[in-house]
Amino acid sequence: MEKLIITAAICGAEVLKEHNPAVPYTIEECVREAKSAYDAGASIIHLHVRTDDGTPTQDKNRFKAVMDAIHAEIPDVIIQPSTGGAVGMTNDERLQPTELVPEMATLDCGTCNFGGDDVFTNTENTIKYFGQRMIERGIKPELECFDKSMIDMALRLQKKGFINLPMHFDFVMGVNGGISGELRDFLFLRESIPAGATYTVAGIGRYEFPLAMAAIIDGGHVRVGFEDNVFISKGVLAKSNGELVAKVVRMAKELGREIATPKEAREILGLKQK
């Protein structure tokens, strides 16, 4: 079985310090949280950025400042910027971090109702546009799928040349408006991807650790972090992203699954070695 790649989603665009005081906003706080996750066993940092007051932004200069600071502290870590942005942003605004040519970036594969009047819009043409830009820039997309139909969309667009092989999926499960985080639905998504594809599972809230366990057993990979869940156990706030990663590492060791280094993660995902 492949070694386990752990991704740490250290901040997200929605979670705030009022949910957990350790949620990072500033460059220094992002470095602190990335380092805590890396030291605990994460090889990928999934990155959103904010202004110092916590406002989400896709500004490429802010991304560059945060990414440079993280790499100055942990040079070999894989940084995976988000192109999700925030509801209402334009495609080109969301794509700004890809201008920095990171190794990986997220590519959302469908539209999702996020609650109330918030709709996270990703039309077929948007997905094609993002996919083509990533091919042009040599960026491996992490195909974020909030439901089964998004896997189908990704497979269809791969056949049309907008997504390269091998494919890497991220099952984001338990989001309002998306698929649930039940084991039944995890198996449904897992059985819907082609041979040769890899996947990570990101369970939201209470689904984080049960789905991490399922992915560890199945041979998949795991995402944890404040973007998805701010608790280390029921009602107990996590002190850092590193504490969440360390819990996954303990689970993996109990099940006999070794943890991938960034170098090994690059080999598994087909990224160029640094």
Does any domain span residue 135? yes
In the chain, the N- to C-terminal Cα span, in Å, equals 24
Label residue 2 left, alpha or beta by phi (over 0 means left) and psi (-120 to 50 means alpha): beta
Does any domain span residue 221? yes
CB burial string 140-156: b at 16+ within 10 A, e below? bbbbbbbbeebbebbbe
Quote the number of domains for the chain. Answer: 1
Does any domain span residue 137? yes
Does any domain span residue 261? yes
Above 70 in pLDDT, residue 201?
yes
Question: Which pTM was predicted?
Answer: 0.97
Does any domain span residue 274? no
**Strand pairing category for 198-203 and 112-115:** unpaired
Does any domain span residue 1? no
Enumerate the β-bridge partners of residue 203: 173
96 vs 46, 49, 68, 128, CA distance in Å? 15, 12, 16, 16
Q: Are 201 and 229 in contact (CB under 8 A)?
A: no
Cα(46)–Cα(116) distance, rounded to whole angstroms?
26
Does any domain span residue 157? yes
Does any domain span residue 129? yes
Cα(105)–Cα(269) distance, rounded to whole angstroms?
13
Q: Which domain holds residue 179?
A: 6-269
56-88 pLDDT, tens per residue? Answer: 999 999 999 999 999 999 999 999 999 998 778
CATH code for the domain in which residue 120 is found = 3.20.20.70
**Which pLDDT band holds residue 256 (cuts at 50, 70, 90)?**
very high
123 vs 68, 91, 170, 173, CA distance in Å? 32, 10, 18, 20
Above 80 in pLDDT, residue 274?
no
Cα(47)–Cα(140) distance, rounded to whole angstroms?
15
206-235 pLDDT, tens per residue? Answer: 999 999 999 999 999 999 999 999 999 999
